[in-house]
Structure 1
Amino acid sequence: MTTTATDQHTPQRPSWDCSCCGKDWPCSPARIQLSEQYGPRRTDLAVYMAVQLGHAAGDLPAATTSTQLYERFIEWTRP
């Protein structure tokens, strides 16, 4: 599947909403795109998402808990 820039579900900072669909990033389409991009390298995907979690932790409101961030950014990367 080929995607164009307008098909890319990327985060908008500092809200961390998807630039394409407006949902919390990583939205379902972003998770699919990232899974396809990283393929069998699930550990690399988890490391990338951990870095994104670190950035998001600094941007998102203090009301966002570490559990919520883990569930949003990391949990889905597990096989």
Structure 2
Amino acid sequence: MLRTRLPTPGRGPHPDRPRATGADTPHTPLRPMWCCRADGQPWPCAQARLLLRAEYEGNPIGLSIYLAGLMYEAMRDLYRLNPYDGPQPRALFDRFVAWGGRRPSPEPPS
């Protein structure tokens, strides 16, 4: 019997976005709880989403990749904090990735 062991994935991206814009406290995640450093809301908070959209304007694929990596890191942290009653995967996907992937609808053929 052939046994293959897949390597354990490495750590995802460092949550350093959105970049500080002169505010006293940046809207970056406070780990391992994944709440916003500035306003205490679940990260990405509304302000962080606006700043991320502005930073990744014209690069929605890059934003989706960045957010998917952070979702992976959040899952790792949040399930370690509370392995029996952690957030549902769908809720984390909606919180981290789903909002960033909106793209304009394709134009109908002429």
TM-score (norm 2): 0.66
Instruction: Describe how 1:13-28 pairs up with structure 2 within 5 A.
Output: 13-28=31-46
1:1-79 alignment runs, 5 A limit:
3-60=21-78, 61-62=82-83, 63-79=86-102
Mean CA deviation greater in 41-50 or 2-11 = 2-11
Q: Secondary structure at the match of 1:6?
A: coil
Structure 2 unaligned runs (5+)?
Answer: 1-19, 103-110
Distance 2:31 2:72 in 1: 13
Considering fraction of residues, name the structure with more helix: 1
Q: Quote how far apart the aligned CAs of 1:35 are.
A: 0.6
More off after superposition, 53-62 vs 29-38: 53-62
In structure 2, distance between residues paired with 1:18 and 1:77 = 17
Aligned residues: 78
**Cα distance in 2, alignment partners of residues 64 and 35 from structure 1:** 25
The DSSP-based 3-state class of the residue aligned with 1:50 is helix
Q: Structure 1 length as normaliser, TM-score? A: 0.91
C-alpha RMSD of matched pairs (Å):
1.5
C-alpha distance in 1 between matches for 2:30 and 2:23? 14
Structure showing greater Rg: 2
Displacement after TM superposition at 1:6 (Å): 2.0
Q: Percent identity?
A: 35
Contact kept? 2:27, 2:45, Cα under 8 Å: yes
Structure 1 ranges of 4+ moved more than 6 A: none
Q: Give 1:5 deviation, angstroms.
A: 4.9
Partner amino acid, structure 1, of 2:88 = T
